[in-house]
Amino acid sequence: MGMDPWELIGKLEERKRGEADRSGPRSKLVDAIFVLLLSRPMRASEIAGVLGYEPKYVSSYLSYWKSRGFVEYEAGLWYLTSQGEEYAREVVARETDEAFNRFVALAKKIASESLKPTRKDKNEGSQPRRESGFLSFIVDQKNLINNKIQDRSSKAACATSILQRVLDEEEMEVAGALLKHYTRWGTTYTYVDQLAEEMRADTGWLMKILRLLQSKGIVYIYTDPRLGLRVGLTRKVKEILESC
């Protein structure tokens, strides 16, 4: 006796979901979302604005992959889990590999139009050199990311030592949180609700300190009609960071 058609369809769908859960998404849009989140936590509306989709559409994808353990949602922001970060890095490596191969093909085409290969070039295969070069490129990219974080950390420490001369303890606590955010994500702004969550601070107290910092030219406060209150380090502080 054969299996009921609807039962068969259900089992096939279940198997497909299981494969997706194990190996990751099968959508270029989701790949793009994960690559964006690899840079820093973002709001669904920010992601939608960058990629040119409706926020509800992006949110539906994020909610689905949250249930699969690839992303998390906290304080209005979407984060990659360790599983999602691993997948996003695989996407970056894959896309980089494809881009590299395209450049290799173009370089070979240009070279073949103007130069004849030498006897040494004929005798030696180019594939090992290409693979070696690509692996070296990936290592260099990882080292570059680590170096950037270390560089930002050094600049933030330098700026902290300068700001401590003009700010009191509470003001320095908030300014330090913004510098910590800069060190981690490379951005000099965040949103007040996110900052309050990261500091575990009362919003009323936080706004009072931010107003004091604003009066001293340390931060700016901007009302984003879609995303709420945004706070960031002023140009003066950015110049301090650059000079450190």
Give the pLDDT confidence of 29-51 residue by residue, as tens digits: 888 999 999 888 999 999 999 98
| 33 is a domain residue | yes
Per-residue pLDDT band at 159 (split at 50, 70, 90): very high
Residues 186-220 pLDDT 10s:
889 898 988 998 888 898 999 999 999 999 999 99
CB neighbours of residue 217 within 10 Å:
12
31 located within any domain: yes
* CATH code for the domain of 223: 1.10.10.10
User: Any residues with CB less than 8 A from the CB of 84 and at least 6 apart, and which?
Assistant: 34, 37, 65, 69, 70, 71
What domain range is 96 assigned to? 1-118
CB burial of 98-125 (b: ≥16 within 10 Å; e: otherwise) equals eeeeeeeeeeeeeeeeeeeeeeeeeeee
* 159 in the same domain as 62: no
Last residue of a domain, one of 118, 139, 164: 118
